[in-house]
Amino acid sequence: MNINQKGFVNIILIIAVVVLIGVAGYFGWVRKSEPVVEQSPSTQTLTPTPQVSNNQPAPIPTPSGETTNWKTYRSELYGLEVSYPSDWSISLNRASKLSIAGFCSPATKSACKNYDGDIVLDLVNSSLSQEKFNQYCKTNFEQSGDYSKGIIENKVNYAICRLPGLETLFRGVYIFHNSFLFSIYRHPESSSPASYAVSEEDFEQILSTIKFIK
């Protein structure tokens, strides 16, 4: 190979190297000039975990004086019912024709047949009008001289008259229904001083069970 041929080969090699360098530089420049797209991190939808409440509904208190297991006395003649505790007894053979029933607590149960009862239900009048009942209640109220009491309580199908006169010794109320006037009261064990085998709360509870069935 002569000198001219060697020089030509060298020139070709130099040109090839320059071309390679140029091509590499071009692609490098293009790569750098491309915009960089920032990939946003994947968004996770967080579903709130439902909270389970440990607060249970407050239990409904059972009434202290439950009457569902009580006995019930019914008078078909007067169309009334009254309930009393299951450990009580009842006396129906009353000495007075106006007396309907006597209810005896465990303290006086053994003497119930010969005892008026700790709570006594009597018939006072069998032909009384509503107007007369109102007058009767008012008259007794005025005679008692106690103007802080003596009211008429209207129930579903009957009325109650509370009189101070009945609270002196025989503590109770009058009940009016369909021309019948009844009295129900606590009978004292002794009168001097007055003492009762049945509390006022027990009396009111028995009073609350009265129903008229006709």
Report angle CA 164, 165, 170 to the nearest 5 degrees.
105
Mean pLDDT by 10 residues, the chain (214 residues): 60 74 63 46 46 44 65 92 94 74 88 83 91 78 51 87 62 89 84 77 92 88
DSSP state letter for 17: H
Residue recorded with tokens 């509390």: 199
- pLDDT at 42 (0 to 100): 44
- pLDDT at 153 (0 to 100): 87
175 within 8 A of 210, measured Cβ to Cβ: yes
CB atoms under 10 Å from CB of 80, counted, come to 23
Tokens of 39: 């990939």
E strand or H helix at 175, and its extent?
A: strand 171-177
Q: What is the domain partition of the chain in residue ranges?
A: 71-212
CA 173, CA 186: separation in Å to the nearest integer?
9
- pLDDT at 107 (0 to 100): 86
Class for the domain spanning 71-212: alpha beta
Query: Which residue in 89, 110, 191 sits closest to 102, CA to CA?
Result: 89
Cis peptide upstream of residue 193 (ω within 30 degrees of 0): yes
Give the three-class secondary structure for 159: strand
CA 92, CA 113: separation in Å to the nearest integer?
8
- pLDDT at 97 (0 to 100): 67
Residues 6+ apart with CB under 8 A from 113: 91, 93
